[in-house]
Amino acid sequence: MKKYDAIIIGFGKGGKTLAAEFAKRQKTVAIVERSDRMYGGTCINIGCIPTKTLVHLAKETPVKATWEEKKDYYRQAIGRKEEVTSFLRNKNYHNLADNPNVTVYTGVGSFAGPDVVEVRTETEVIELQSSQIFINTGAETIVPPIDGIKENSRVYTSTSIMELEELPERLVIVGGGYIGLEFASMYASFGSKVTVLEGYPELIGREDIAASVQTVLEKKGIAFHLNAKVQSVDGATVIYEDAVTHEIHHLEGDAILLATGRRPNTSGLNLEVAGVKVNERGAIIVDEWLRTTNPAIRAIGDVKGGLQFTYISLDDYRIIREDLFGAGERRTDDREPVSYSVFMDPPLARVGLSETEARKKGLNIKVNTLPVAAIPRARTLGETDGLFKVVVDADTNKILGCSLFGPETNEIINIVSIVMKTGQEYTFLRDYIFTHPSMSEALNDLMSF
């Protein structure tokens, strides 16, 4: 049995940063990762870095290229994506593995007791012990129980499709959520004919400006079938029922992407023997300082449910750092508001409440919208599709929420988030001096009621 000051299961953002923090303090750390393709975690290897690399490259697809030229460009893009992820994966591995206080174990980790982790490598089984253990195993793709998808070479997840070197001429995406729309936009830009099947009567229902998003994506050639309940898959043909008319449809494609969500990756951890409980969705239950039902074990990132973003995992690290080595004043319940972006073309960004959510709370609100086409910078960029929307508390003048769909909104949303976090009134942005021409100066007009 090997003893460490800390054991971290999973090489994701929060875990790797915490490992470096312990090592900096001359504490010994064991970090366990099941795959040598996942050093650095989801974001670097199969999440935000590879997808955003491909989103950027997709926008550069030659517009007047032949189909063969587009396929060749796509192959080059996949190669470039792999170069980026390989570089970052290697860098992340050596950042920890080369540290004398850190030992990296490549194998499957599971609990053998409240303070013992068993690691199964390709050649041996090793037992590790520590009084401090951190679970950072992330989330995994939900594979729905649809007949015909198991061991079907035409069916992909958001992970496996990025390994596909042949651009599919026809791509069918099952699921019209954020992941589905991001991939739909990307592959349409590469040149695929994309069809999205969504089981609900509308896309991304919690977004006020979903109709604008759908309209813009349809202009890119993406077809949407709502109320589509997928029944089965036969090769590359998707059979689905229209939930309204009950008609059965057959939709043929060259590739099928399952974009049906993600869930906490806790299977195989043997949490029961460690006294760690999960909720009804399989997420590890934690308190404000990320302690599980076993106070010596904490959970970081997607595995505890909630918002599945790399920056949330990083903030989890900060909470743990301050609790272990500081005053413990950071908690999970004081980090709102948290903004997010969906990297479609153009990107969709959001922070706080939607108009619908605010009205359901019975708040006295005022709402304003601004077409992206009215923004001078958007005109200079030649990207005029989209809509900005803000929701303000009419009694306090505080911003309750903001939705931005247009170029560079993944950056602009952070400005709104800072204003909300610091308690400024909306007039702060209305009267702020921004550079010109810029997308951020549109906040002057958006905030003018």
Residue in 56, 94, 249, 436 annotated catalytic: 436
- Cα-only R_g, the chain: 23
- Where would I find the H helices in 25-143? 42-45, 48-59, 67-97
Q: 175 and 260 in contact (C-beta within 8 Å)?
A: yes
Question: Contact at 8 Å (CB) between 228 and 199?
Answer: yes
250 is catalytic: no
* Torsion (CA) 134, 13, 280, 156 in degrees, nearest 10: -130
Consecutive H or E run containing 22: helix 13-24
Residue whose entry in the numeric block shows the structure tokens 């090997």:
2
- Going by their DSSP bridges, the two strands 262-264 and 223-225 should be labelled as unpaired
CA of residue 272 relative to chain centroid, distance: 28
Residues in contact with 31: Cβ distance below 8 Å, sequence separation at least 6, in sequence order: 7, 8, 10, 11, 15, 16, 19, 96, 102, 103, 104, 105
Three-state DSSP class for residue 359: helix
- Active-site residues: which are they? 436
